């Protein structure tokens, strides 16, 4: 009989601190650079009638496990039904014999591991004195990115913009209660990024809303929202102008922020500076000076889910958290 550990969303939240997640995701990038991992092709099904997405990401990481994430994203869930936009599960299998180890909620892990990836991009690419953050999108990811950035940089202020003004108001109230730095609502993307050292784009947009002429020298951009074909948040001229670092070359060319600039002939693979793992492993340099514009294109990797969920699994075993059942 195979004993399987079941972890709820609340279990996972109680087990993982943001520092735990950042450490696990940095491990994932190191495995990516050393190629001690494998990523399966992503399966994405659009649920056109309800404007939803169904996605499967899987792979394995040596010294961790095999992992599969099945996730749905329905952007209208909160206003229509009072439900979270993200819903899904992660299943872990033992690498050496394939036995099922654990099944756990995927929503929280997806949020925090993406925040951690953005923070690592900033850690290695942003100016060291970066303190002012602009956030495009007052959703779960807009929150997670700031929470993670706060672990690696000394944030002093956050300006948030969302097309839904009430979401931005709610964001300011909630985040102000959690953090000591100044958080305020911006009335447009342009005013949000005016004095920003770091710009986070975290929306499901299919058209650019951050324009090239607004971008000042020295800024770092975390491009988070574009994670499937057709999505775009930035003026492609920004991408052509920046030092571009990606989480995974193949994924980003197909489904990242850089996809549009490549299609338009403004950027080629040879123009992409590095995968983030190459910088973490010190195979390539990060930021060269305080004037260059850096861009981290993050599409989200299954190995990030695997290392983070495996960390939750091991912590749960140590602390006796979760429910165990038998399969077979």
| N-term to C-term CA, the chain | 6
The rounded Cα 56 to chain-centroid distance in angstroms is: 16
Any bridge partners for residue 93, and if so which?
A: 66, 100
Residues whose CB falls within 8 Å of the CB of residue 99, separated by 6 or more in sequence, listed in order: 2, 93
Catalytic-labelled residue, pool 3, 38, 49, 69: 69
Question: In which residue are the tokens 């706060």 written?
Answer: 150
Burial class of residue 80 (count of CB atoms within 10 Å of its CB; 0-12, 13-18, 19+):
exposed
Question: How far apart are the C-alpha atoms of 59 and 167, rounded to whole Å?
Answer: 35
Question: How far apart are the C-alpha atoms of 36 and 34, rounded to whole Å?
Answer: 5
3-class DSSP state of 323: strand
Determine whether 69 is an active site residue. Answer: yes
Residues whose CB falls within 8 Å of the CB of residue 299, separated by 6 or more in sequence, listed in order: 226, 227, 246, 247, 248, 251, 252, 255, 256
On the CB side of 131, CA atoms within 13 Å amount to: 6
Catalytically active residues, by annotation = 69
């Amino acid at each position: 009989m195979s004993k399987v550990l079941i972890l709820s969303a609340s279990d996972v939240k109680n087990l993982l601190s943001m520092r735990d997640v950042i450490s696990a995701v940095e491990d994932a990038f190191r495995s990516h650079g050393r190629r001690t991992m494998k990523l399966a092709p992503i399966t994405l099904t659009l649920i056109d009638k309800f404007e939803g997405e169904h996605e499967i990401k899987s792979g394995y990481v040596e010294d961790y496990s095999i992992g599969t994430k099945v996730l749905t994203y329905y952007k209208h869930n909160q206003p229509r039904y009072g439900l979270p936009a993200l819903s899904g599960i992660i299943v872990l299998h033992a690498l050496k014999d394939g036995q099922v180890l654990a099944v756990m909620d995927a929503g929280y892990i997806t949020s925090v591991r993406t925040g951690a990836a953005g923070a690592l991009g900033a850690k290695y690419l942003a100016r060291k004195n970066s303190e002012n953050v602009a956030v495009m999108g007052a959703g779960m990811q807009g929150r997670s990115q700031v929470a993670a950035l706060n672990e690696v940089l000394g944030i002093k202020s956050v300006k948030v913009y969302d097309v839904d003004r009430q979401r931005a108001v709610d964001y300011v109230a909630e985040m102000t209660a959690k953090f000591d730095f100044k958080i305020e609502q911006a009335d447009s993307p342009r005013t949000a990024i005016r004095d920003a050292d770091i710009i986070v784009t975290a929306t499901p947009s299919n058209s650019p809303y951050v324009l090239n002429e607004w971008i000042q020298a020295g800024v770092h951009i975390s491009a988070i929202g574009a994670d499937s074909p057709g999505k775009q948040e930035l003026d492609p001229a920004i991408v052509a102008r920046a030092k571009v670092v990606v989480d995974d070359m193949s994924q980003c060319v197909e489904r990242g922020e850089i996809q549009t600039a490549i299609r338009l002939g403004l950027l080629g693979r040879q123009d992409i500076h590095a995968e983030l793992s190459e910088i973490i492993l010190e195979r390539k340099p990060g930021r060269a000076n305080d004037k260059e514009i850096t861009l981290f294109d993050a599409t989200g990797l299954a190995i990030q889910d695997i290392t983070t969920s495996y960390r939750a699994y091991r912590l749960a075993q140590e602390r006796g958290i979760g429910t165990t059942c038998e399969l077979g």
